[in-house]
Protein backbone atom coordinates (compact mmCIF):
# COMPACT_ATOMS: atom_id res chain seq x y z
CA UNK A 1 0.00 0.00 0.00
CA UNK A 2 1.14 3.49 -0.64
CA UNK A 3 0.71 7.06 0.50
CA UNK A 4 -0.89 8.36 -2.62
CA UNK A 5 -0.19 12.10 -2.60
CA UNK A 6 0.01 13.02 -6.24
CA UNK A 7 -0.84 9.41 -7.03
CA UNK A 8 2.31 8.53 -8.94
CA UNK A 9 3.15 5.47 -6.87
CA UNK A 10 -0.44 4.32 -6.74
CA UNK A 11 -0.86 4.49 -10.49
CA UNK A 12 2.44 2.76 -11.14
CA UNK A 13 1.50 -0.09 -8.82
CA UNK A 14 -1.95 -0.38 -10.38
CA UNK A 15 -0.45 -0.45 -13.87
CA UNK A 16 1.82 -3.27 -12.75
CA UNK A 17 -1.34 -5.23 -12.02
CA UNK A 18 -0.99 -5.24 -8.23
CA UNK A 19 -3.80 -5.01 -5.72
CA UNK A 20 -3.25 -1.70 -3.96
CA UNK A 21 -4.41 -0.19 -0.70
CA UNK A 22 -3.69 3.53 -0.85
CA UNK A 23 -3.40 5.57 2.30
CA UNK A 24 -4.21 9.19 1.64
CA UNK A 25 -3.73 11.69 4.46
CA UNK A 26 -5.06 14.69 2.63
CA UNK A 27 -8.85 14.68 2.53
CA UNK A 28 -8.82 17.07 -0.44
CA UNK A 29 -7.28 14.29 -2.59
CA UNK A 30 -9.76 11.66 -1.47
CA UNK A 31 -12.60 12.23 -3.97
CA UNK A 32 -10.28 11.77 -6.94
CA UNK A 33 -8.86 8.57 -5.57
CA UNK A 34 -12.28 7.31 -4.63
CA UNK A 35 -13.56 7.72 -8.16
CA UNK A 36 -10.51 5.80 -9.37
CA UNK A 37 -11.31 3.16 -6.77
CA UNK A 38 -14.88 2.91 -8.01
CA UNK A 39 -13.77 2.51 -11.61
CA UNK A 40 -11.41 -0.35 -10.86
CA UNK A 41 -13.53 -3.24 -9.68
CA UNK A 42 -11.65 -4.08 -6.48
CA UNK A 43 -8.04 -3.57 -7.52
CA UNK A 44 -7.72 -0.40 -5.43
CA UNK A 45 -8.85 0.37 -1.93
CA UNK A 46 -8.53 3.93 -0.66
CA UNK A 47 -8.26 4.66 3.04
CA UNK A 48 -8.10 8.03 4.76
CA UNK A 49 -4.99 7.64 6.88
CA UNK A 50 -1.32 8.45 7.25
CA UNK A 51 1.18 5.61 7.17
CA UNK A 52 3.72 7.81 8.90
CA UNK A 53 1.33 8.40 11.77
CA UNK A 54 0.54 4.78 12.34
CA UNK A 55 0.51 3.57 15.94
CA UNK A 56 1.65 6.79 17.57
CA UNK A 57 3.43 6.26 20.88
CA UNK A 58 0.98 8.50 22.70
CA UNK A 59 -2.09 6.82 24.10
CA UNK A 60 -5.63 8.08 23.84
CA UNK A 61 -8.06 8.48 21.00
CA UNK A 62 -6.51 8.82 17.60
CA UNK A 63 -7.59 11.65 15.42
CA UNK A 64 -7.60 10.71 11.71
CA UNK A 65 -5.47 10.60 9.60
CA UNK A 66 -3.47 9.09 12.50
CA UNK A 67 -4.51 5.46 12.87
CA UNK A 68 -3.65 2.18 14.50
CA UNK A 69 -2.38 -0.78 12.55
CA UNK A 70 -5.07 -3.09 13.98
CA UNK A 71 -7.71 -1.09 12.26
CA UNK A 72 -5.72 -0.68 9.07
CA UNK A 73 -5.03 -4.39 8.65
CA UNK A 74 -8.60 -5.25 9.50
CA UNK A 75 -9.83 -2.87 6.80
CA UNK A 76 -7.34 -4.32 4.33
CA UNK A 77 -8.41 -7.83 5.22
CA UNK A 78 -4.81 -8.96 5.82
CA UNK A 79 -4.24 -11.68 8.43
CA UNK A 80 -0.99 -12.06 10.39
CA UNK A 81 1.45 -14.70 9.16
CA UNK A 82 4.22 -16.41 11.17
CA UNK A 83 7.59 -14.68 11.17
CA UNK A 84 9.16 -17.41 9.09
CA UNK A 85 6.52 -17.18 6.36
CA UNK A 86 6.84 -15.22 3.16
CA UNK A 87 6.35 -11.45 3.09
CA UNK A 88 2.64 -10.79 3.85
CA UNK A 89 2.56 -7.42 2.13
CA UNK A 90 4.77 -4.77 0.63
CA UNK A 91 4.73 -1.13 1.57
CA UNK A 92 5.65 1.51 -1.00
CA UNK A 93 6.16 5.02 0.17
CA UNK A 94 8.16 8.17 0.21
CA UNK A 95 9.65 9.02 3.58
CA UNK A 96 9.11 12.69 4.28
CA UNK A 97 12.63 14.03 4.85
CA UNK A 98 11.73 15.93 7.99
CA UNK A 99 10.55 12.74 9.64
CA UNK A 100 13.02 10.36 8.04
CA UNK A 101 15.20 9.59 11.03
CA UNK A 102 12.29 9.38 13.44
CA UNK A 103 10.54 6.97 11.12
CA UNK A 104 13.63 4.80 10.69
CA UNK A 105 13.95 4.55 14.46
CA UNK A 106 10.26 3.84 14.84
CA UNK A 107 10.21 1.06 12.24
CA UNK A 108 13.33 -0.66 13.56
CA UNK A 109 11.98 -0.53 17.09
CA UNK A 110 8.72 -2.07 15.92
CA UNK A 111 10.60 -4.72 13.97
CA UNK A 112 12.55 -5.97 17.00
CA UNK A 113 9.39 -5.90 19.09
CA UNK A 114 7.26 -7.51 16.36
CA UNK A 115 4.85 -4.69 17.10
CA UNK A 116 2.88 -2.32 14.85
CA UNK A 117 3.07 -3.45 11.19
CA UNK A 118 5.45 -6.28 12.14
CA UNK A 119 2.73 -8.03 14.09
CA UNK A 120 1.54 -9.23 10.68
CA UNK A 121 4.89 -10.77 9.74
CA UNK A 122 7.94 -9.69 7.79
CA UNK A 123 6.46 -6.68 6.06
CA UNK A 124 8.69 -5.48 3.24
CA UNK A 125 9.40 -1.77 3.02
CA UNK A 126 10.11 -0.20 -0.34
CA UNK A 127 10.82 3.37 0.54
CA UNK A 128 12.29 6.41 -1.07
CA UNK A 129 14.69 8.04 1.32
CA UNK A 130 17.49 10.58 1.14
CA UNK A 131 20.94 9.51 0.05
CA UNK A 132 22.25 10.70 3.39
CA UNK A 133 20.09 8.29 5.39
CA UNK A 134 20.70 5.51 2.89
CA UNK A 135 24.42 5.92 3.54
CA UNK A 136 23.78 5.70 7.26
CA UNK A 137 21.78 2.49 6.84
CA UNK A 138 24.44 0.87 4.67
CA UNK A 139 27.62 2.26 6.30
CA UNK A 140 30.47 -0.06 7.19
CA UNK A 141 32.33 -0.15 10.51
CA UNK A 142 34.98 2.53 10.60
CA UNK A 143 33.09 4.98 8.39
CA UNK A 144 32.98 7.76 10.91
CA UNK A 145 29.74 9.69 11.20
CA UNK A 146 27.84 7.41 8.82
CA UNK A 147 28.24 4.28 10.95
CA UNK A 148 25.80 4.66 13.81
CA UNK A 149 23.60 2.69 16.18
CA UNK A 150 20.82 3.02 13.62
CA UNK A 151 23.13 1.41 11.04
CA UNK A 152 23.82 -1.63 13.19
CA UNK A 153 20.19 -2.16 14.19
CA UNK A 154 18.98 -2.02 10.58
CA UNK A 155 21.77 -4.18 9.22
CA UNK A 156 21.17 -6.87 11.83
CA UNK A 157 17.40 -6.74 11.43
CA UNK A 158 17.03 -6.44 7.67
CA UNK A 159 18.39 -7.15 4.29
CA UNK A 160 18.88 -3.71 2.76
CA UNK A 161 18.91 -3.35 -0.95
CA UNK A 162 19.28 -0.33 -3.21
CA UNK A 163 16.56 -0.60 -5.83
CA UNK A 164 16.91 2.65 -7.65
CA UNK A 165 18.73 5.95 -7.46
Ligand X SMILES: *[C@@H]1O[C@H](CO)[C@@H](O)[C@H](O)[C@H]1NC(C)=O
Residues forming contacts to ligand X in the complex (CB under 6 A) are 25-26, 50, 52, 65, 96
Q: CB of 8: closest distance to ligand X in angstroms?
A: 14
Closer residue to ligand X (CB): 1 or 52: 52
Q: CB of 94: closest distance to ligand X in angstroms?
A: 8
**Contact between 146 and 139 (Cβ < 8 Å):** yes
- Residue 13, Cβ density class (10 Å: 0-12 exposed, 13-18 middle, ≥19 buried): buried
Q: CB of 98: closest distance to ligand X in angstroms?
A: 7
Closer residue to ligand X (CB): 52 or 107: 52
Closer residue to ligand X (CB): 52 or 120: 52
Closer residue to ligand X (CB): 23 or 111: 23
Q: CB of 83: closest distance to ligand X in angstroms?
A: 28
Beta-carbon contacts of 9 under 8 Å, excluding residues fewer than 6 positions away, are: 2, 3, 92, 93, 94
**What is the distance between the alpha carbons of residues 137 and 107, in angstroms, rounded to a whole number?**
13
**Contact between 87 and 53 (Cβ < 8 Å):** no
- Residue 42, Cβ density class (10 Å: 0-12 exposed, 13-18 middle, ≥19 buried): exposed
Q: CB of 117: closest distance to ligand X in angstroms?
A: 16
Closer residue to ligand X (CB): 63 or 164: 63
**What is the distance between the alpha carbons of residues 129 and 107, in angstroms, rounded to a whole number?**
14
Amino acid sequence: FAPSGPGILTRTLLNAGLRVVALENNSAFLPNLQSLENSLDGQLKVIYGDFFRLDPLVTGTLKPPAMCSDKLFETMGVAPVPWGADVPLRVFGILPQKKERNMLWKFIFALYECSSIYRWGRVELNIFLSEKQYKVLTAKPGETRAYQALTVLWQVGCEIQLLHM
